[in-house]
Amino acid sequence: MPAPVISILTPVYNPPVEALRAAIGSVRSQDYPHWELILVNDCSPSPAVATTLRELAALDKRIVVHTRSENGGIVAASSDALRLATGEFVALLDHDDMLARGALAAVAEALIEQPDADYLYTDEDKISDQGDFFDAFDKPEWSPERLLGQMYTGHLSVLRTSLVRDVGGFVVGTDGSQDHDLVLRVTEQARSIVHLPEVYYHWRAIEGSTAHDSEAKPYAWMAGLQAVQRSLERRGIRGRAELGPQPGTYRVVREIDPDLTVSIVIPTRGGNALVWGETRCLVVELVRSLVTVSTHQNLEIVIVYDEPTPASVLAELRAIAGDRVVLVPFLEPFNFSAKCNVGYLASSGEVVVFLNDDMQLVSPNFAAELAAPLFEEGVGATGARLLFSDGSLQHGGHVYASGDLTHAGFKGGGDEEGPFRAFLVSRECSGLTAACIAVTRDTFERVGGFNEGLPGNFNDVDFSRKIGSLDLRLLWMSDVTLYHFESLTRDSTVHQWEYDTIMRRWGTPERDPYFPVGFRAEF
């Protein structure tokens, strides 16, 4: 593949002149020569802007300046720039931001190495008025669920020009979230998506910008909401987009057929524990919460109980759940994996959710939120946001990196936003805890269920890695919340042989693909 020409699209409206000069200078200083910079002056009131554009364009024939006859907004100006682009790829650069040194060379090299790439994005940081770089965003690998919840790919975005035009370019009415809307449409059609895990873009944080204040442009948040809703409709996802807990975040409320049977498999021995100052039978109160909180009525609750489970507990479970409960005895020595597999064989639902018995449901829509994504292309499993009894975070997805196998955000605040709001949005992750994981019957059988050679620990890591090995995504659903009174009735000791087994079988990458380097050190 020959070196691609990259057309850099920059709508211009009244930026500080020095910032504009810096933006253009960051392009001109690139050591990769095959670019064109298309600057569209959207009737900037300051005459200094037009003067600066003319002056700098005269220095380099690769700079194209177009002046609009009337102000049309960022979508109109971006559309003009796209119309003038001649390169095989377009890159998006705001009028006051900067490309990092070597950005275009790195982009071109990646595009040459992966000729079917239709979208590429890089990491980014922010630059202050004083020229200091800060707040680097080590972005996750391609994470389509997170893109529904947040425009995380941001800058630098590079898109195949022909595909951008095929999907309709920039859409009128998306001002403020025009890039999010475009990237959603492009990635729905893209053959390959590439992430360059290096900071190649500097986002200027000035007064009035979203880099400086995420609440500076409320209209952008609303435009993003509409972009996400349209994406759901294009993909045939039953549900609606809603504003998320912070500006720039969104939640997708999914729906399922009310007749869909969702089986809940709960291994237990019917033990009691002290929770919130009161002694409770854990499995009884979990089932009670499922019956009273869940809005999905077609639940099958499969209880896999050890021989010591009191008969009174079984009777109470029948009284609470009636004919929805299926009681399955387990007479072998303790083996969590085997109990899950036995429960699966006794279940009948098309979706099976595995739950520890030391849980309590909080989210009424949990069945739909866990089950619905499993019928979307490429999704293998879903899991939930789990909280300890004190409200701190127990599980924000698994993190596998540098020999470490951990829960993301473990023991962090229950309201913790996480790195770049990772705990505020649903997203892909490397693995999910078996304390709450949902799969279809097909996926369970394709991976062979839980590994009974791991009876106590890391069976969920193995299960997750098997699902991932099928190129299926694992989703952590931010709006599904349960309390997890972890290990109140069993020994939670991790044995060295268990760790050695999982590491021999799978190992870990140096960096988890969905979290920044050294992320766990934050908690």
For the domain that residue 444 is a member of, what is the CATH number?
Answer: 3.90.550.10
Do 284 and 361 fall into the same domain? Answer: yes
pLDDT tens string for the chain (523 positions)?
789 999 999 999 999 999 999 999 999 999 999 999 999 999 999 999 999 999 999 999 999 999 999 999 999 999 999 999 999 999 999 999 999 999 999 999 999 999 999 999 999 999 998 889 999 999 999 999 999 999 999 999 999 999 999 999 999 999 999 999 999 999 999 999 999 999 999 999 876 556 545 566 789 999 999 999 999 999 999 999 999 999 999 999 999 999 999 999 999 999 999 999 999 999 999 999 999 999 999 999 999 999 999 999 999 999 999 999 999 999 999 999 999 999 999 999 999 999 999 999 999 999 999 999 999 999 999 999 999 999 999 999 999 999 999 999 999 998 889 999 999 999 999 999 999 999 999 999 999 999 999 999 999 999 999 999 999 999 999 999 999 998 655 567 889 999 999 999 999 999 999 998 777 544 3
CB 370 within 8 Å of CB 353: yes
DSSP 7-75: EEEEEESS--HHHHHHHHHHHHT-S---EEEEEEE---S-HHHHHHHHHHHTT-TTEEEEE-SS---HH
Element (DSSP H or E) covering residue 250: strand 250-254
Structure tokens at 125: 């940081």
Do 312 and 374 fall into the same domain? Answer: yes
Look at residue 218 and tell me if it is in a domain.
Answer: no
Domain finish residue from 195, 213, 231: 213
Do 13 and 148 fall into the same domain? Answer: yes
Residue 287: give the domain boundaries.
262-522
CA angle 510, 514, 515 (to 5 degrees): 70
Question: What does the alpha-carbon distance between residue 201 and residue 471 come to, in Å, rounded to a whole number?
Answer: 30
Look at residue 116 and tell me if it is in a domain.
Answer: yes
Kindly report the number of other CB atoms within 10 A of residue 377's CB atom.
Answer: 9
The pLDDT score that the predictor gives to residue 212 is 47
Look at residue 67 and tell me if it is in a domain.
Answer: yes
User: Can you tell me whether residue 378 is helix, strand or coil?
Assistant: coil
Domain finish residue from 152, 178, 213: 213
The pLDDT score that the predictor gives to residue 487 is 66
- Environment class of residue 58 by beta-carbon count within 10 Å: exposed (0-12), middle (13-18) or buried (19+)? exposed
Look at residue 278 and tell me if it is in a domain.
Answer: yes
Phi, psi of 187 (to 5 degrees): -70, -20
Question: What does the alpha-carbon distance between residue 38 and residue 34 come to, in Å, rounded to a whole number?
Answer: 13
Do 205 and 311 fall into the same domain? Answer: no
Domain finish residue from 173, 197, 213: 213
CB 180 within 8 Å of CB 224: yes
- Environment class of residue 15 by beta-carbon count within 10 Å: exposed (0-12), middle (13-18) or buried (19+)? buried
Phi, psi of 396 (to 5 degrees): -120, 30
Phi, psi of 155 (to 5 degrees): -110, 145
Question: What is the value of pTM for the model shown?
Answer: 0.94
Do 192 and 270 fall into the same domain? Answer: no
Question: Which residue, among 9, 180, 34, has the nearest Cα to 92 in the 3D structure?
Answer: 9
Look at residue 186 and tell me if it is in a domain.
Answer: yes
Do 373 and 504 fall into the same domain? Answer: yes
Look at residue 240 and tell me if it is in a domain.
Answer: no
Render pLDDT for 110-147 as a digit per residue (tens, 0 to 9).
999 999 999 999 999 999 988 899 999 999 999 999 99
Sign of the C-alpha dihedral computed for residues 385, 388, 393 and 395 taken in this order = negative
**Sequence-ordered list of residues with C-beta below 8 angstroms from that of 202, at least 6 positions apart, any chain:** 26, 97, 98, 99, 100, 124, 125, 126, 127, 133
Structure tokens at 456: 């106590």
DSSP 375: G
Look at residue 479 and tell me if it is in a domain.
Answer: yes
Is the peptide bond preceding residue 156 cis, with omega within 30 degrees of 0?
yes
Do 169 and 35 fall into the same domain? Answer: yes
Phi, psi of 20 (to 5 degrees): -65, -45
Do 161 and 296 fall into the same domain? Answer: no
Kindly report the number of other CB atoms within 10 A of residue 217's CB atom.
Answer: 18
Question: What does the alpha-carbon distance between residue 373 and residue 481 come to, in Å, rounded to a whole number?
Answer: 16
Do 428 and 499 fall into the same domain? Answer: yes
Structure tokens at 68: 């609009």
Phi, psi of 120 (to 5 degrees): -135, 140
Do 194 and 280 fall into the same domain? Answer: no
Question: What does the alpha-carbon distance between residue 430 and residue 61 come to, in Å, rounded to a whole number?
Answer: 47
DSSP 377: T
Sign of the C-alpha dihedral computed for residues 385, 390, 394 and 396 taken in this order = positive
Do 151 and 269 fall into the same domain? Answer: no
Look at residue 182 and tell me if it is in a domain.
Answer: yes
CB 438 within 8 Å of CB 476: no
Largest CA distance in the chain: 88
CB 423 within 8 Å of CB 416: yes
Question: What does the alpha-carbon distance between residue 287 and residue 291 come to, in Å, rounded to a whole number?
Answer: 6
Question: What does the alpha-carbon distance between residue 40 and residue 81 come to, in Å, rounded to a whole number?
Answer: 6
DSSP 105-142: HHHHHHHHHSTTEEEEEEEEEEE-TTS-EEEEE---S-
3-state secondary structure 412-439: CCCCCCCHHHCCCCCEEECECCCCEEEE
Do 154 and 296 fall into the same domain? Answer: no
Count of domains forming the chain: 2
Please give the sequence-ordered ranges of beta strands (E in DSSP) within 69-223, or none if there are none.
89-92, 98-99, 117-127, 133-137, 157-160, 192-204
